[in-house]
Amino acid sequence: MSLLNPWVLLGIVLAVFGAGTSGYFKGSADEYERQQLEIARLNEQARETEKRMGEVAQTYAQNLRKSNDVAKAKETKLRSDLASGERKLFIPVKAPECAVHTASDSTPAAGNTETRAELDSGIAQALVDLTSRGDTAIRSLNACIDQYNQMRSFK
């Protein structure tokens, strides 16, 4: 039996082709298994990160709720004080300039020399409402920024 026999050559080619093909399919199966293990590991890691992010979000939501409750209590007290007259809001106004000055007016009176006007109670309540909405928005924005910065560190 000679090596140049076409049946021997065909057998050698088929053996080499079969070994290559089986190696290829075995390698593909091994790679698929390795990828599945990597996907499972990454999914577990993502679940853990998601859980920690949820806890952080819940913590920031609770803190924001508490700070909003404290602010709401202060706002309610301020509103009741304004309504009862216990507290009054004033704004500085420009003093009218008198055309006639007397000699006795040359020295200001002792104490507070600022000219100011008291706000109407409706205007004071509207001003408190406006500032409380602004403060609420600022607290929400600050909580959002803090939470975002905390979440960025989870990568």
Query: What is the residue range of 89's domain?
Result: 6-94+115-152
Residue 1 counted as domain residue: no
Q: Which residues of 25-45 are buried (b: 16+ CB within 10 A; e: fewer)?
A: eeeeeeeeeeeeeeeeeeeee
Taking residue 76's Cβ as centre, other Cβ atoms within 10 Å add up to 11
pTM of the model as a whole: 0.61
Q: What does the pLDDT read at residue 110?
A: 53
Residue 107 counted as domain residue: no
Residue 69 counted as domain residue: yes
Residue 48 counted as domain residue: yes
Q: What does the pLDDT read at residue 102?
A: 57
Residue 100 counted as domain residue: no
Residue 104 counted as domain residue: no
Series of mean pLDDT values for 10-residue runs along the chain (155 residues):
77 86 86 94 94 93 96 94 89 73 54 76 90 95 93 82
Q: What does the pLDDT read at residue 109?
A: 52
Residue 126 counted as domain residue: yes
The number of folded domains in the chain is 1
Q: What does the pLDDT read at residue 103?
A: 53
Residue 41 counted as domain residue: yes
Q: What is the DSSP string of the chain?
A: --TT-HHHHHHHHHHHHHHHHHHHHHHHHHHHHHHHHHHHHHHHHHHHHHHHHHHHHHHHHHHHHHHHHHHHHHHHHHHHHHHHTSS--EEE-PPPPPS---GGGGSPPSS----EEEPPHHHHHHHHHHHHHHHHHHHHHHHHHHHHHHHHTT-
